[in-house]
Structure 1
Amino acid sequence: MESLANIFWLGVKELRSLRSDKVLVLFVIYAFTASIYTQARGTSSEVYNASIGFVDEDGSALSRKLFQAFYPPRFQKPVLIRSDEVDEAMDSGRLMFVVEIPPRYEQDLRAGRQAEVLVVVDATAMLQASIGASYIQNIISGQVAEFLSRSDPNFRYPSRLVVRKAFNPNGDTSWFNSIVAMINQVTLLTTVLTGAALIREREHGTIEHLLVMPLTAFEIAAAKIWSNALVILAAVWASLLIVIRGVLQVPIAGSPWLFLGGVILYLFFATALGVFLGTVARTMAQFALLIILILIVLQLLSGGSTPVESQPEALQRITYLLPSRHFVAFSQSIIYRGAGIGAVWPDFLVVTLVGAGFLAFSLQRFRRSIAVSR
């Protein structure tokens, strides 16, 4: 009972110390609010408000139909230009796409002859260029097929592809980016807060005050773990409800409480990583460099930025031992697919086992570093 009391009051001391560090508090608030919003909205892989021009050398009903098929929010209102204005419009960056409809386009299609539509793309914006070109191709193909099916009774679709998107019907990348951003912030902030708390004690000389008190290494480390984990847990809960579901309008298909339980399990690993790096680094500068080296690798291999299946096979085997991969997996399953405990318990189990094992190792290393300091 006395040990639990020591852990509690030491944790309260950590919370008071964190509250007095205004910069760190503002950083935590920013990381779980504005940072998530900007990553969700500012890194979209979709085409929005793209400028497009038309060179209509046919002047037919079909060409006018194609011209009217492009509208916001994917594209700006199309503008009609002459063929000799294409180079100037592309060179100046005024237009990202130009569609050139050749003469007798509708007549050739009605006669069963092959006709080509030229699409000029500004490929300096590579992502939007490739996706926008696909949008234009699909729109033109759909409009031409619809036009011919209404005007030619002998027209038949060779095949029809029906696509139904599950879990994200509109393909809104902000749904995906917001959750991945929050997951990355959980790993980053938990590790930073826990590790920085240890290094701050050493740099400020307060670790010596703790060493002369009747405290064990476990009590000192456990107090830092629960206090910093509590801060992250509260930030995750507020971010999930206010920023992700409230501001970004991302629907939460599964149980938020189940997701929060998974976050608690993952915090065992994240806090252990912070304790471990706090014992390895001697200064805050060394700690920052280690954070960059380790957390970037964890984020890249977690499957949040790129699918695990696209990684080399050897790396895929390694990622099975990374709690960050399973954290991403069960987070997406719960939030997007509405998965229950029956679907995510294997990921919960791996996160718990690896996190508990690494926490025991980190506490043992911290105990040794305390023993050396004594």
Structure 2
Amino acid sequence: MDRHGTLANIFRLGLKELRSLWADKVLLVLIVWAFTGGIYSAAKGVSQELRNAPVAVVDEDRSPLSARLIGALTPPYFKTPDLISMAQMDRALDQGRYSFSLVIPANFQRDLKEGRRPTLQLNIDATVMSQSFIGASYIQSIVAGELNEYLTGKRDSSAPPIRLTTRVRFNPNLTGFWFGGVMEVINNINMLTIILVGAAFIREREHGTLEHLLVMPLTPFEIMMAKVWASGAAVLLAASVGLIAVIQAIMQVPIAGSVPLFLCGAALYLFSAASIGIFLGTIARSMPQFGLLFILTIVPLQLLSGGVTPRESMPEVVSDIMLGAPITYFVRLAQAILYRGAGLDTVWPEFLAITGIGAIFFLIAHTRFRKSVTQTQV
């Protein structure tokens, strides 16, 4: 068949895939939710910052200094401190009512004035891992500042020999949901592409429509490419809406780089992700099996891609293995463009790596698909 006929077949089969997707309301709702409410809830609901942490104070001193320390624990970092007794403290922590409890001993102000080093006890509920260490450092800094100002009239205890000036780039206020919202878009592009393509392949095999395609003058390459462009187009459109409407318009997250350049990189990565979805679809015999394969393979790859934790903090062997995964380069590309405003002159190595690894994954998926077609025909 000539090239024109191949492209026509790919286009028509892709339209069939889009009609099937439109008829599948569950998947359609999943896509819409993932790039709208899913992005917003993931960014706003899972905060790594200290906000409104419940704190209790056992004030056995009842002095002006203890009242000053209590008054320094203010919103938005902490809720208004509750004054409790020593007998109530352990039970309150056991019940999870407070994340922090500060014990100010009796005669604290007097001992401090007389040059002694009285002890303040801070109890932390470390089950709240993300906030326990941050809150402890905040309370330590607040208490140290108040005590220094009380004793010397200055917040700092001593002048350092140098002046260290810190400038925070790309996220000057260290706002956590800026990072969370954009990373949710990246993760959803990966997951939904694989799910849509794999589910479409398994659905056709379960409904018997794959056999109908095999008796037509179609090649496995045409069938694969139709699924790739149709599912990729649906995900890319949804990702564009999520990035522009939800991230930029609703959440007011500034995008430093070029959105069209990012979408070009995403379109290139969709080729790799769709190939992985087809490969998993040829291995799994049912949707439950596909779901288990997805959890065992794709979720770990996504967690190790560098979007959750820096790759530099991973074991070297894990970091080296992840160099063979296209999502590693996609995360690096997306962060460089969207966070740091990188241009094509900076991210072209990632574009090249995604293209090369995507071609390898496509060839592997194509080989597996042809074998499954032969087994089906037999």
Label 1:151 to 1:113 Cα distance change in 2 as closer, same or farther (>3 A): farther
Match of 2:158 in 1: 156
CA distance in structure 1 between the aligned counterparts of 2:86 and 2:208, rounded to whole angstroms: 74
1:244-267 deviation digits (Å, cap 9, x = unpaired)? 223333221111111111101111
Number of residue-to-residue matches in the alignment:
373
Q: Gapped runs of 5+ residues in structure 2?
A: none
The range that moved more, 332-341 or 172-181, is 172-181
The range that moved more, 293-302 or 357-366, is 357-366
SS at match of 1:180: helix
**Shift in Å at residue 273 of structure 1?**
0.5
Is 1:39–1:181's contact at 8 Å kept on the other side of the alignment? Answer: yes
Match of 2:9 in 1: 6
Label 1:146 to 1:326 Cα distance change in 2 as closer, same or farther (>3 A): farther
Match of 2:362 in 1: 359
SS at match of 2:101: strand
Match of 2:325 in 1: 322
Is 1:149–1:156's contact at 8 Å kept on the other side of the alignment? Answer: no
Given candidates 330, 341, 345, the residue that maps to 1:342 is: 345
CA distance in structure 2 between the aligned counterparts of 1:95 and 1:196, rounded to whole angstroms: 45
Is 1:90–1:96's contact at 8 Å kept on the other side of the alignment? Answer: yes
Match of 2:55 in 1: 52
User: Normalising by the residue count of structure 1, what TM-score does the alignment of the two structures yield?
Assistant: 0.91
Match of 1:283 in 2: 286
Match of 2:212 in 1: 209
Is 1:253–1:337's contact at 8 Å kept on the other side of the alignment? Answer: yes
Label 1:69 to 1:76 Cα distance change in 2 as closer, same or farther (>3 A): same
Given candidates 25, 29, 34, the residue that maps to 2:32 is: 29
Indicate the percent of aligned positions where both proteins have the same amino acid: 49
Trace 1:216-227 onto structure 2 (pairs within 5 A): 216-227=219-230
CA distance in structure 1 between the aligned counterparts of 2:369 and 2:54, rounded to whole angstroms: 58
The range that moved more, 118-127 or 108-117, is 108-117
Given candidates 259, 266, 271, the residue that maps to 1:268 is: 271
CA distance in structure 2 between the aligned counterparts of 1:107 and 1:9, rounded to whole angstroms: 85
Match of 1:199 in 2: 202
Trace 1:101-112 onto structure 2 (pairs within 5 A): 101-110=104-113, 112=115
Matched, 1:300 2:308: no
**Shift in Å at residue 128 of structure 1?**
2.6
CA distance in structure 2 between the aligned counterparts of 1:117 and 1:244, rounded to whole angstroms: 43
Q: Gapped runs of 5+ residues in structure 1?
A: none
Trace 1:171-250 onto structure 2 (pairs within 5 A): 171-250=174-253
Question: Which amino acid in the other structure matches residue 187 of structure 1?
Answer: N
**Shift in Å at residue 175 of structure 1?**
1.9
The range that moved more, 58-67 or 312-321, is 58-67
**Shift in Å at residue 15 of structure 1?**
0.4
The range that moved more, 80-89 or 29-38, is 80-89
Is 1:252–1:335's contact at 8 Å kept on the other side of the alignment? Answer: yes
Match of 2:121 in 1: 118
